[in-house]
């Protein structure tokens, strides 16, 4: 016997069956006449070996149903299910409400979504509803009755299902408007939103109109992986819908944490699943940024792939324990699969900072972390592949890899390349104001021999070119290497300019404030790119170019006792894109999307990558 409880939002598409039944009694409620309750089996989409289905249970005018249980023999073979407890005992399947969806008032409905195995069959028998035998009747699709046919969501009659229609529907949320009540449920709500978004996708909108059938997503061969930060919804006021998803192929959501039980857990529950956005309702499985990204926005941008990124600088402390034993690895991998199924992610991105050495002083670390990291990723890969076979959809596994030579040396890169879909290399933060002994480039393309740190063999290995060569030499497949691009700069204060070269390779004496610094963070010296654009526009800064390293930097003698900022701009980014194309690398990753609010750098990426072959 197995018991599962999974929540997920699934779009509506095609009704394929209907069953009507009478009920002697519903919990403590009065009996409901056969005409007052309907259960519809629907199929949203299908593929070879499986399909996506729903069971729609509707109270068509009867008394309130307080708690429900549907039980039957045979029926659809289910690989995964959400919005109900799912129990199987031999050939009998029992579905039970989850509490929040147990009450079905007159005219209301609940839906249970599932992923079916094989083909849809009409073979339910010996069915019971709340313990009372029911008769199941199937129909050959929609009857053609206008009352069962959803209305057209093209409200403004412009031939498109788009944001204008969505805005009108949301403006009428909770009303009894017949125009916007697409599912004829009696009130404008979640079912109507699902129908609109589904029509938006399946009818080709938002096709960009160029005749290639593309949905408006990126039209190039390489990956563009952007990190979205969970805390961006607060002071930055950057919501998921603010992302230019038409220019991105993969969104890595930063971050999930690891609990004391060794399982993945939500970082900020309010942001992730509780915050209400326009169109959300109290009775949906979850709200927040997870729902916006993985359900609402995905319907508008079906090309996008979303991954939950685990760890990061702050939450990498338990990775060493998670990777330590076969049992701990298995548990963590199982929790990752459950997590992405629950919240509809396309995969998992592991951001361990870092195995063996580095990271926060409080992190647990062991000499065997590097080997255990490989074993952990292999177990996650194994379980993701099993889930993919069950669910009929591929699941991705990636990592955010260190770039510093002292950390790269602990990785088994050849084995990682085999198990990962691609490797996001953090080719930035090579230098920063944590070391005030000298200014330098934090995302250098090539080595500049004038860097005084080269005496310690640092600058020769702290650059993009060395990192790529090292990964390739250790067996990484070129197409799996994704170059990291910083959408921010790193700064030093108290920098003099005795050589007239803008303070390059000079000592600093203080860490200047960054874009988002406050009393809690202290000064970090981190400036988002849109902030750097404003500094340049102010006239107080001069831009310099290092022709050897192929990167820019800014200097102001009047600000912060001499302000030096190393950063990425359009010119340096074009060099990096040319480099990755010449070496047949897999694409670019950037940290992070809120920092390039004018989309200046993102536009450079999109305009310079390799177009998709016709």
Q: What is the 3-state secondary structure (H, E, C) of 549-595?
A: CCEEEEEECCCCCCEEEECCCHHHHHHHHHHHHHCCCCEEEEECHHH
Look up 353 and say whether it is catalytic. yes
Written as one string, the DSSP assignment of 413-473 is HHHHHHH-SEEEE----SS-TT-TT----SS-SS--TT-GGGGGT-TTTSSHHHHHHHHHH
Q: Which residue do the tokens 């992986």 mark? A: 225
In terms of DSSP bridges, do strands 2-6 and 84-89 run parallel, antiparallel, or are they unpaired?
Answer: antiparallel
| Calpha distance 245→302 (Å, rounded) | 10
Catalytic annotation, pick one of 58, 246, 353, 470 = 353
- Cα of first residue to Cα of last residue in the chain, in angstroms, is 51
| Calpha distance 466→404 (Å, rounded) | 10
For 271, the 3-state DSSP assignment is helix
Residue among 183, 322, 194, 173 at smallest CA distance from 262: 322
Residues forming a β-bridge with 37: 59
| Calpha distance 528→136 (Å, rounded) | 60
Contact call for residues 462 and 404 (beta carbons, < 8 A): yes
389, two tokens:
């076979």
Residues forming a β-bridge with 457: none
47, two tokens:
């593929």
Contact call for residues 194 and 202 (beta carbons, < 8 A): no
Residue among 251, 290, 605 at smallest CA distance from 396: 251
User: What's the alpha-carbon Rg for the chain, to the nearest Å?
Assistant: 27
Find the length of the chain.
614
235, two tokens:
């002071």
Q: Is 49 left (phi over 0), alpha (psi -120 to 50) or beta?
A: left
Report CA 360 to chain centroid distance, whole Å: 25
507, two tokens:
């000592």
Pinpoint the alpha helices (H) of 450-599: 464-473, 529-538, 570-582
Active site members: 353
């Amino acid at each position: 016997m197995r018991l599962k409880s999974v929540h997920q939002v699934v779009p509506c598409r095609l009704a394929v069956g209907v069953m009507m039944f009478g009920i002697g009694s519903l919990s403590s409620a009065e009996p409901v006449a056969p005409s007052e309750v309907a259960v519809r089996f629907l199929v949203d989409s299908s593929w070879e070996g499986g399909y996506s289905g729903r069971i729609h249970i509707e109270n068509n005018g009867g008394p309130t149903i307080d708690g429900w249980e549907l039980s039957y023999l045979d029926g659809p073979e289910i690989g995964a299910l959400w919005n109900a407890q799912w129990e199987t005992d031999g050939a009998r399947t029992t579905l039970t409400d989850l509490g929040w969806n147990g009450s079905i008032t007159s005219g209301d409905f609940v839906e249970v979504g599932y992923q079916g195995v094989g083909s849809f069959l009409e073979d339910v028998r010996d069915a019971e509803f709340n313990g009372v035998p029911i008769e199941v009747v199937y129909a050959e699709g929609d009857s053609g009755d206008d009352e069962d046919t959803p209305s057209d969501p093209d409200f403004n009659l412009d031939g498109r299902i788009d944001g204008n229609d969505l805005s009108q529907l949301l403006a009428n949320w909770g009303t009894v408007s017949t125009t916007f009540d697409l599912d004829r449920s009696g009130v404008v709500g979640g079912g109507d939103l699902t129908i609109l978004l589904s029509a938006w996708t399946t009818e080709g909108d938002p096709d960009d109109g160029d005749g290639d059938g593309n949905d408006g997503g990126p039209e190039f061969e390489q990956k563009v992986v952007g990190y979205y930060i969970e805390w961006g919804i607060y002071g930055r006021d950057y919501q998921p819908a603010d992302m230019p998803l038409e220019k991105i192929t993969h969104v890595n959501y930063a971050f999930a944490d690891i609990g004391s039980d060794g399982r993945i857990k939500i970082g900020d529950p309010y942001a992730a699943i509780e915050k209400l956005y326009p169109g959300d309702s109290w009775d949906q499985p979850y709200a927040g940024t997870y729902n916006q990204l993985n359900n609402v926005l995905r319907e508008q941008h079906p090309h996008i792939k979303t991954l939950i990124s685990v760890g990061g600088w702050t939450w990498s402390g338990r990775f060493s324990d998670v990777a330590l034993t076969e049992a701990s690895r298995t548990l963590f991998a199982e929790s990752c699969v459950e997590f992405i199924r629950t919240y509809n992610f396309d995969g998992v991105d592991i951001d361990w900072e870092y195995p063996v050495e580095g990271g926060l002083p409080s992190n647990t670390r062991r000499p065997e972390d590097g080997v255990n990291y490989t074993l952990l990723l292999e177990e996650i890969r194994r379980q993701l592949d099993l889930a993919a076979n069950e669910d009929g959809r591929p699941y991705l596994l990636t990592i955010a890899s260190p770039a510093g030579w002292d950390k790269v040396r602990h990785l088994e890169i050849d084995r990682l390349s085999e198990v990962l879909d691609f490797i996001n290399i953090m080719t930035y933060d090579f230098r920063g104001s944590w070391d005030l002994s000298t200014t330098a480039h934090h995302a250098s393309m090539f080595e500049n021999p004038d860097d005084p740190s080269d005496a310690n063999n640092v600058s020769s290995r702290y650059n993009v070119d060395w990192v790529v060569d090292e990964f390739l030499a250790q067996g990484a497949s070129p197409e799996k290497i994704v170059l990291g691009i910083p959408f921010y700069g790193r700064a030093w204060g108290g920098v003099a300019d005795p050589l007239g070269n803008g303070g390059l390779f000079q000592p600093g004496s203080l860490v200047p404030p960054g874009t988002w610094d406050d009393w809690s963070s202290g000064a970090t010296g981190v400036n988002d790119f849109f902030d750097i654009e404003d500094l340049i526009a102010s006239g107080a800064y001069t831009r310099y170019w290092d022709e050897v390293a192929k990167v820019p930097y800014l200097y102001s003698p009047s600000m912060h006792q001499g302000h030096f900022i190393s950063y990425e701009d359009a010119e340096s980014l074009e060099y990096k894109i040319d480099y990755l194309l010449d070496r047949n690398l897999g694409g670019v990753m950037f940290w992070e999307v809120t920092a390039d609010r004018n989309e200046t750098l993102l536009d450079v990426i999109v305009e310079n990558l390799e177009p998709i072959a016709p």
